[in-house]
């Protein structure tokens, strides 16, 4: 499997160097833990499809399917790579290569970049998470959205979803916040949020369709459709 990853990365890198692809349009949605965004992305892609007469897709677990197809492996074999939170993400990926020969941070980062960036370059996609705001930062036809909420709101959301105690929910939110910050650090993103994102939306104050309406308006202003 390690050889398959390396072969795919090599071909993708050569192709990108030749074509210098910087296409799009793409909308990335980053969210604090406890601010669920799949519902937003789904509604947004449907609205954009209707408005632009072009098919817009929202990308979450589709990255897993596409990666499996490209690497000619089953989704089950690589599910842990894309389904895990940042904690243990790189360790799991390195283990999948099956040997110390592949224990290179650059290989891991390039693998993620190549898969995610391909979706961004194809255009007409709404990408949730997966460090999309960083990977697609050089694409001009892009809008980067951040979904936020107060800590207490996020704790309550996690508490209900996973049926946790107050104390366990607080601990989980704190741990995942730390892990996600570490995950972004692997992509050398040292800018502050106000330098990365174009739009901040508060999950505790806005309903899903209000947020979709706001993103649609911003996308129109940016001429993304």
Quick one: tokens of 18? 């030749």
Q: Please report, for the domain that includes residue 175, its CATH number.
A: 3.40.50.300
Handedness of CA 61, 63, 66, 72 (dihedral sign): negative
- Cα 40 to the center of its chain, rounded Å: 14
Q: For residues 112 and 190, what is the distance between their CA atoms, to the nearest angstrom?
A: 18
Which residue in the block uniquely carries the two structure tokens 């089950």? Answer: 76
Domain count, the chain: 1
Q: Where are the beta strands (DSSP E) in the chain?
A: 26-31, 57-59, 125-128, 142-148, 199-202
* pLDDT in single tens digits along all 225 residues of the chain: 444 444 444 444 444 443 455 688 999 999 999 998 989 999 999 999 999 989 998 887 655 565 556 555 565 655 544 444 433 444 444 445 444 433 344 555 666 677 778 878 888 989 888 677 877 888 889 999 999 999 999 999 999 999 999 999 999 999 888 877 776 766 655 666 667 899 999 999 999 999 999 999 999 999 999
pTM, two decimals, is: 0.73
Report helix angle 89-97 to 105-122, nearest 10.
100
Quote the CA–CA distance of 94 and 80 in Å, as a whole number. 12
In the three-class reduction of DSSP (H, G, I as helix; E, B as strand; rest coil), residue 19 is classed as: helix
Which residues form the domain of 38? 2-221
């Amino acid at each position: 499997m390690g050889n398959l990853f390396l072969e795919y990365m090599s071909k993708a890198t050569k192709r990108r160097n030749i074509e210098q692809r910087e296409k799009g349009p793409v909308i990335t949605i980053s969210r604090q833990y406890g601010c669920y965004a799949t519902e937003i992305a789904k509604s947004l892609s449907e609205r954009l499809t209707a408005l632009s007469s072009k098919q817009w897709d929202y990308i979450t677990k589709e990255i897993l399917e596409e990666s499996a197809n490209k690497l000619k492996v089953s989704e089950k074999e690589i599910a842990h790579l894309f389904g895990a939170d940042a904690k243990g993400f790189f360790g799991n990926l390195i283990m999948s290569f099956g040997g110390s020969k592949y224990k290179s941070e650059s290989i891991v980062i390039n693998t993620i970049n190549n898969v995610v960036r391909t979706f961004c370059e194809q255009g007409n996609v709404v990408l949730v998470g997966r460090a999309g705001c960083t990977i697609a930062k050089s694409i001009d036809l892009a809008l980067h959205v951040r979904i936020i909420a107060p800590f207490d709101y996020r704790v309550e959301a996690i508490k209900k979803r996973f049926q946790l105690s107050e104390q366990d929910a607080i601990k989980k939110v704190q741990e995942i916040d730390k892990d996600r910050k570490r995950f972004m650090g692997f992509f050398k993103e040292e800018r502050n949020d106000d330098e990365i994102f174009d739009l901040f939306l508060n999950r505790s104050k806005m309903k899903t369709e209000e947020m979709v309406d706001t993103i649609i308006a911003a996308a129109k202003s940016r001429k993304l459709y």
